[in-house]
């Protein structure tokens, strides 16, 4: 987690640093800080607990005019959120400052060694060892060479990091590096930039340079960026990446919050993803980098992901097993990394990750790759680690997702999973081209169905009072709808802080039914599918115990209308595609409840969007 930025050039550094940090705030918002070199070559540090908006006020008061600086927005791992633990951290002289994203696993040993050597520490963070190690290296063996000093510093570290360092002795220079945490840099006529991801850079350039793990980049005020690899050799042609994201895509554009904006962007995101995907020979998906015969040979698939993306994996399993008849295991990446794995030479791994930077998911992918598995990524972020490390990557093209709660990436990732399943089914002969085309045309109706659900958001608004004061709720569903229940409950928990327990509807009477008493809210996802009647029975069981039932049901379902206290209606859809539409009601509902409780829907407490530590 954490976001870092850096700039050296001809403009006021603090302007880019603050704007960049505001864009990266989704990565953590426990504290924020900047270090800017003043024109008289002193380091000026402004940092505080809380958000970038609070930092901006302090920076305005401090009138920072320097043109070289670094910045950080923090998600606390080591040390409580506080002014003291906010980055940047400095060395003993106060002339070297560093920001860091990641975890330094051996920081306690390093601290002890540095203390013995006379260094004094001011925070509880793992990060603070970095400027002190840099200080020793810079003044010692590196003899004032920033790149060598950073190389010596990282040679002592264990863990993961992206780091930016500035030094008052070297005005107009910054050094940055990465190892397991993301970092991109850019060279422009106005100066050289660094950031944790491409979003802050979209405002200043359309071309960024990607660093490989252990590369060190020297950024200079003339705009130059020089990259050295882990061995210290010059990288003559660092990997470039064109950014096609319009910087305004990361702004509110008239909406009161990003979650609301992103929910409403879902139809267009899916239309973009489907565009030109149906070709003469079925689903066009060169990104898979697999021939038809390689696809046909796949005998087992691991889908590995976390959080909402894991829920996409559950849907992917249903679709792949139903259409392509290939056996699929869906694993939480954090569990998978410590479990036995059974792979054959024909096993495919699919990682699903909006950010492409989730540490557990990346570790799982690396593990499977190491076992000879092909890894395919479904991701949203261009140039992300997942996309770079996988053998093939399908970008969902949903545009920047800024709200911590994932919405448009969830539905677009489900569509991507459907496309993969259809591609596989045609290749291995489980579906004919005509059958694939039929499903594809049904997929094309999803955006309008979502628009229709959004038009019915008054139905979600009506049930807000039930949840506003409820300490807890039960979410039920069967088959693909159990996943919709899981995802709806996750949304309700993470942004509205209502404990929501999701369960396969048929399992309810094996325990959770004990929760139900008169007035207890039960959300039943019960579209018209082949398990409809079974779920209806479970709704009746809930009603019999006094539950207040909020059903998500298909237009025209009189039976559910007569049974439930409230119905959130969805248009008629194929039962394998209905999860992409039905979940939208539950996204909208969670957002309304959070807003009714006066909560910040975009930045829920304790969370960060991108979980880059294990
Ligand atoms: O970027 P990823 O898709 O890998 O992120 C995985 C989870 O951290 C993420 O989906 C998380 O669960 C969201 N906050 C859910 O809304």
Could you report the per-residue pLDDT of 512-522, keeping only the tens digit for each?
Answer: 889 999 999 99
What pLDDT was estimated at residue 90? 96
**Residue 593: band (very low, low, confident or very high) from pLDDT cuts 50, 70, 90:** very high
Greater confidence, 252 or 551? 551
Q: Is the pLDDT of residue 610 over 80?
A: no
Q: Taking 90 as the threshold, does the pLDDT of residue 32 lie above it? A: yes
478 close to 504: Cβ distance less than 8 angstroms: yes
78 pLDDT more than 90: no
Prediction pTM value: 0.88
pLDDT of 250 over the 90 cut: no
Q: What percent of the chain is predicted at pLDDT more than 90?
A: 82
Confidence tier at 243 by pLDDT (50, 70, 90): confident
**pLDDT at 248 exceeding the cut of 80:** no
How buried is residue 61: exposed, middle or buried, by Cβ count under 10 Å (0-12/13-18/19+)? exposed
Count other C-beta atoms under 10 Å from residue 16's C-beta.
24
Tell me the CA–centroid distance for residue 535 and ligand 1, in Å. 28
Average pLDDT, the chain: 94
- pLDDT of 252 reads 87
- Position 117 scores a pLDDT of 94
CA of 609 to the centre of ligand 1 (A): 6
Q: How far apart are CA 140 and CA 216, in angstroms?
A: 19
Distance CA 221, CA 216 (A): 17
pLDDT of 265 reads 97
Whether 322 has a pLDDT exceeding 80, the answer reads yes
CA dist., res. 403 & res. 235, Å (int): 36
- Under the banding of pLDDT at 50, 70 and 90, the label for residue 4 is very high
How many angstroms separate the alpha carbon of residue 401 from the centre of ligand 1? 11
Q: What is the SS3 assignment for 551?
A: strand
Give the model's confidence band at 194: pLDDT under 50 very low, under 70 low, under 90 confident, else very high: very high
Question: Which pLDDT score, from 0 to 100, does residue 338 have?
Answer: 86
* Nearest CA residue ID for atom 4, ligand 1: 353
Q: Is the pLDDT of residue 589 over 80?
A: yes
Mean pLDDT, residues 175-185: 94
Check residue 253 and give its pLDDT: 86
Positive or negative torsion for Cα 317, 319, 320, 325 = positive
pLDDT score of 245 more than 80: no
Q: What is the per-residue pLDDT for 263?
A: 98
Say if residue 184's pLDDT is above 80: yes
Residue 534, exposed/middle/buried by CB under 10 A (0-12, 13-18, 19+)? middle
Helical (H) or strand (E) element with 585: helix 578-596
Residue located nearest, by CA, to atom 14 of ligand 1: 405
The per-residue pLDDT for range 454-495, each reduced to its tens digit, is 999 999 999 999 999 888 999 999 999 999 999 999 999 999
Considering 2, 167, 349, 373, which one is annotated as catalytic? Answer: 2
Query: Which pLDDT score, from 0 to 100, does residue 241 have?
Result: 87
Residue of higher predicted confidence among 359 and 265: 265
Looking at residue 344, its pLDDT comes to 87
609 is catalytic: yes
Using a 6 Å cutoff on CB, does residue 403 contact ligand 1?
no
CB of residue 358 inside a 6 A radius of ligand 1: yes
Give yes or no: 2 in active site. Answer: yes
- Percent with pLDDT over 70 in the chain: 100
> Given a cut of 90, is residue 261 above it in pLDDT?
yes
Ligand 1 centroid to 307 CA: how many Å? 5
In ligand 1, which atom is closest to the CA atom of 410?
Answer: 10
CA distance 543 to 392: 48
């Amino acid at each position: 987690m954490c976001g870092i930025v850096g700039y050296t050039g001809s403009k006021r550094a603090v302007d880019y640093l603050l704007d960049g940090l505001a864009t990266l705030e989704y990565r953590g918002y426990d504290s924020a800080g900047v270090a800017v070199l003043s024109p008289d070559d002193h380091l000026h540090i402004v940092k505080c607990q809380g958000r970038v908006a609070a930092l901006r006020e302090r920076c305005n008061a401090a009138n920072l005019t320097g043109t070289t600086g670094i910045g950080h927005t923090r998600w606390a791992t080591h040390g409580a959120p506080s002014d003291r633990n906010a980055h940047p951290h400095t060395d003993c002289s106060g002339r070297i400052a560093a920001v860091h994203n990641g975890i330094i696993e051996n920081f306690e040993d390093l601290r002890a060694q540095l203390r013995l050597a006379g260094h004094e520490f001011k925070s509880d963070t793992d990060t603070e060892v970095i400027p002190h190690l840099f200080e020793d290296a810079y003044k010692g063996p590196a003899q004032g060479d920033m790149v060598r000093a950073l190389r010596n510093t990282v040679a002592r570290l264990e863990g993961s990091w992206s780091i930016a360092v500035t030094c008052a002795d070297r005005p107009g220079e910054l050094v940055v590096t990465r190892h397991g945490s993301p970092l991109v840099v850019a060279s422009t006529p106005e100066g050289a930039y660094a950031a944790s991801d491409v979003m802050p850079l979209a405002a200043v350039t359309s071309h960024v340079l990607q660093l490989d793990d252990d590369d060190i980049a020297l950024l200079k005020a003339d705009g130059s960026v020089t990259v050295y690899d882990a061995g210290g050799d010059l990288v003559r042609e660092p990997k470039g990446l064109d950014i096609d994201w319009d910087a305004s895509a990361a702004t509110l554009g008239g909406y009161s919050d990003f979650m609301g904006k992103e929910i409403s962007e879902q139809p267009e995101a899916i239309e973009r993803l489907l565009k030109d995907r149906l070709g003469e020979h079925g689903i066009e998906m060169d990104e898979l980098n697999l021939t038809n015969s390689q696809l046909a040979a796949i005998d087992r698939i691991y889908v590995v992901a976390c959080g909402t993306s894991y829920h996409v994996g559950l849907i992917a399993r249903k679709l792949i097993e139903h259409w392509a008849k290939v056996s699929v295991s869906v694993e939480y990446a954090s569990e998978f990394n410590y479990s036995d794995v059974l792979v054959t030479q024909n096993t495919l791994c699919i990682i699903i990750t909006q950010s492409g930077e989730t540490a557990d998911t990346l570790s799982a992918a690396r593990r499977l790759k190491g076992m000879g598995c092909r890894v395919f990524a479904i991701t949203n972020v261009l140039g992300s680690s997942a996309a770079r490390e996988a053998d093939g990557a399908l970008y969902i093209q949903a545009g920047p997702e800024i709200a911590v709660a994932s919405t448009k990436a969830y539905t677009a990732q489900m569509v991507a999973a459907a496309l993969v399943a259809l591609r596989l089914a045609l290749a291995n002969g489980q579906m004919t081209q005509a059958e694939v085309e039929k499903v594809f045309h049904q997929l094309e109706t999803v955006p309008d169905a979502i628009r229709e659900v959004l038009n019915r958001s008054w139905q979600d608004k009506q049930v807000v009072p039930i949840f506003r004061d409820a300490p807890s709720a039960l979410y039920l569903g069967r088959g693909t709808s159990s996943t919709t229940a899981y995802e709806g409950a996750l949304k309700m928990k993470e942004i509205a802080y209502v404990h929501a327990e999701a369960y396969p509807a048929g399992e309810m009477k094996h325990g959770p039914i004990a929760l139900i008493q008169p007035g207890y809210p039960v959300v039943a996802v019960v579209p018209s599918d082949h398990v409809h009647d079974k779920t209806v029975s479970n709704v009746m069981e809930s009603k019999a115990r006094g539950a207040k039932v909020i059903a998500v049901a298909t237009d025209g379902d009189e039976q559910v209308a007569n049974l439930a206290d409230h119905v959130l209606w969805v248009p008629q859809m194929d039962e394998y595609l209905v999860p992409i539409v039905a979940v939208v009601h539950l996204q909208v509902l969670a957002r309304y409840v959070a807003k009714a409780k006066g909560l910040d829907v975009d930045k829920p407490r304790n969370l960060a969007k991108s979980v880059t530590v294990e």
